[in-house]
Each structure stands twice: as C-alpha cells, then as structure tokens.
Amino acid sequence: MKTYIFKPVVRAVLASLAGLCLLLITSCSANKKEATQVKEKFPITQPLVLDTVYTKEYVAEIQSIQNVEIRAKIPGFIEKIHVDEGKSVQAGQLLFTISNHTYRQNLHKTNAQLKSAIAEAKFAAVELKNTKELVRKNIVSKTELEKAEAKLEAIQAKMEEARSAVATAKLNLEFTQVRAPFSGGINRIPNKSGSLVEEGSLLTTISNNLEVFAYFHVSEKEYLDFIESKEINKNKEVTLVLANNNVFPQPGKIETVEGEIDRSTGNLAFRARFANPQQLLKHGSSGKIRLEIKLANALIIPQKATFDIQDKTFVYVVDHNNIVRLRTIVPKLRLPHLYVVASGLSPQDKILYEGLQRVKEGEKINTEFVPQTTMPQLLAQQ
C-alpha cells in the first residue's frame, strides 16, 4: 500500500528537477553566447590618401619601321636568286635576276630606230635650208618652204618618240635586276629560280628592324583620363614585355596617338618606338606595353573590406556610435588587394575591415581600430 501512495509524488519531484536542470542549461548557454558577443571586437580601419604609381599592360603589335614587298616590275623567268631567306642585305644589293634577252633585244631595236630618226632629221634640216634659199631667190613658192618645215617637225617628233622608246627599253632592262631598296632582312621567297613571274608578282619582302614600332590600344575612357592627368604624352617612356614574359632591354617612347577612335572597338591606337640593335624584335612580333602611371592623392582601401552585389560595390561604414551603415562606393582603379576609390568615401570614414558576413545594417558592434600599415607595402609591390 505505501508504494502506491508515494509513487506519484516521486514522479512529480523528478519532473521538477529535470525542468530545473533544463532551465539552468539554457540560461548558461544564453549567458555564454551573450558573453561571447560582448567580447567580440570587429576591426575597423580608415582609407589612406597616398601618392602612388601603378603599372598597366596593353597588348602590343610589333612592326618594323620599314617593311615593304618586293615585286616584279616586268614579266619573265627568274634567272637567278642572289640571296637567301633570313639574310641581311644592304641598300642597292642585287636580289633577283629576271631573264633579260627580250628586253636587251628591244633596247637594240629602239636604239636603231632612234639613229634612223636622227638621220632623217638631219636630211630634212638640209632640205629646209635649201628651200629657204630657193624661196629667197623666188625660184620656188613659200608653200614649198612650209612643207619642208612641217616635214622637219614631223621627223623631230619621231626622233623624240624614239628617244622615249629607248629610255623605256633601258628601264625595262634595269628592271630585270631587282635590288634592295634599303638595308634590311630578307623574308620568305615564294618563287624559286626558273619560275615564271608576271608583272606585280611578289618576289619577297624586306624589313628594316633596327628600330620597331609597337602599336597598342587604350579605351576612350582611359585616353581621356590620361589627358586629364597629363600622364600620357609624347616621349613618355614605356617598357616592352616580350612573348616569353621577359622585359625587352631597350626602353621605348610614345611617339604619337592615332587621330581617330575605332568605332567597332571604341579604342584609340598609340605608337611607341623602340631601338632594336640586336635585331631581337621581328616584324609581326607580339608583346605587352607596360606603362607606369602616377596617382596623386589616391584614396585607397583594402579589397577585403568590400563586397559586391550585382554590379555595385559596398562597404560597411561604422559611425561614431559604432552603428554599422551600408554604403555604396565607386572604385576608380583595381590594384592587387586594393581599391582606389573614386567616390563614396572620405579619408575620415571608418570602415569595417573584417567580419563583414557577421554584421547587419543598423547593428551596434564593438570595434577595434586597425591602422593600414600594410597598404604602402602592397603598393610598393605593384
């Protein structure tokens, strides 16, 4: 009987104890979480205002200062090739000989025609002299004199035509010997000895690589920024990075800017000139132009203090009451680990440096100021 009387009481006591333990555990966990939140401090920092230099690279196309096609000026068979592909030649050096038998015979023919015309002109001049004497003595009429003068003029015209034919024949004969227009390197020779070439056929190309042009393109916006900052002008020194990522030993200088923006790309072409004494650079090579551009009073923040939503960049600004406020910024330039800010921040603003995922707009946080001592070091590595 006693067992049945006290069993409900025991159950009630056990239930009360269990509830009390659960309450104590929950309370301890809440207090522990609250204590953790109270103790956590979020690092904040301020933007730095610095004068700095950054580098930018642009894809470049290398062209020789002289690169021309050597073409046949007359038809004929290539009789002899006097140079080989890839060899250097001097201005005026003989490159190709085209068969000249036909052109030599034509020169002989035109010379003979010229001699004949000269002889006729001499005979006509004698006739004219005699006719003038007869007219003076009234033996013949003036009509005969006019005929003699006209005959001499016709023969003189024929003589001038013959002289022109001789000059053309000489020129064609000279064209059978194809010479280098300037000193340079010979490129591919598509037609070999014995090949029949027509007038205008490509024989080879020749390049003068003692100096080269490097063409690179910048956007219209960058061009306007360069003009406003006066950073890009003629004679500004630039560096060329080769296709194997080695730096070309000779510095270059910007010479000119193209006068028209490409409508299809919105870009503007710049041209830099490089000395190439070792002939390392060839026509058609590729590389990258590296520019050093100065930034005065640049407002710089670390990239880790920002985050992007769609196409906008944000930071958390912490006010004097340690309240977190979301703010949009406009980056002017992106550097490794850093942003140069165009608008949205001032040097006096304090921004959240770490823990961006653990705070919300309008939340009050505990802060700890962290000076940006690493930013100048990062800039020095650019």
37 located within any domain: no
27 located within any domain: no
Query: What whole-number distance in Å separates Cα of residue 24 and Cα of residue 337?
Result: 48
Please tell me whether residues 301 and 373 are part of one structural domain.
yes
Please, what are the averages of pLDDT over each run of 10 residues along the chain (382 residues)?
Answer: 43 50 51 51 90 88 95 95 94 96 94 93 90 86 89 92 94 95 94 94 95 94 79 78 94 90 89 94 94 85 90 93 93 86 92 90 90 62 54
22 located within any domain: no
Please, are residues 306 and 351 in contact by the beta-carbon 8 Å criterion? no
Please tell me whether residues 319 and 370 are part of one structural domain.
yes
pLDDT at 27: 52
Please tell me whether residues 93 and 118 are part of one structural domain.
no
217 located within any domain: yes
Please tell me whether residues 217 and 317 are part of one structural domain.
no
Please tell me whether residues 267 and 365 are part of one structural domain.
no
CATH label of the domain that carries residue 277: 2.40.30.170
The total number of residues written for the chain in this structure: 382
CATH label of the domain that carries residue 334: 2.40.420.20
Please tell me whether residues 184 and 91 are part of one structural domain.
yes
Please tell me whether residues 370 and 338 are part of one structural domain.
yes
Query: What whole-number distance in Å separates Cα of residue 290 and Cα of residue 313?
Result: 28
Query: What whole-number distance in Å separates Cα of residue 17 and Cα of residue 11?
Result: 10
Lookup: tokens for 150? 């006209």
CATH label of the domain that carries residue 183: 2.40.50.100
Helix (H) or strand (E) holding 274: strand 267-275
Lookup: tokens for 274? 């490089």
Q: How many domains does the chain have?
A: 4
- Residue ending a domain, among 243, 274, 294, is 294
Q: Which residue has the tokens 């060839």?
A: 282
Please tell me whether residues 90 and 124 are part of one structural domain.
no
Q: Which residue has the tokens 């470049």?
A: 60
Residue 222's φ and ψ, nearest 5 degrees, are -65, -40
Please tell me whether residues 167 and 263 are part of one structural domain.
no
220 located within any domain: yes
35 located within any domain: no
Please tell me whether residues 356 and 313 are part of one structural domain.
yes
17 located within any domain: no
- Residue ending a domain, among 267, 294, 321, is 294
- Residue ending a domain, among 271, 294, 317, is 294
Please, are residues 382 and 54 in contact by the beta-carbon 8 Å criterion? yes
pLDDT at 37: 45
Interior angle at CA 211, CA 208 and CA 214, nearest 5: 110
Please tell me whether residues 273 and 154 are part of one structural domain.
no
pLDDT at 259: 84
| Residue 271 belongs to domain spanning | 56-64+209-294
106 located within any domain: yes
Please tell me whether residues 241 and 272 are part of one structural domain.
yes
pLDDT at 36: 45
Please, are residues 85 and 189 in contact by the beta-carbon 8 Å criterion? yes
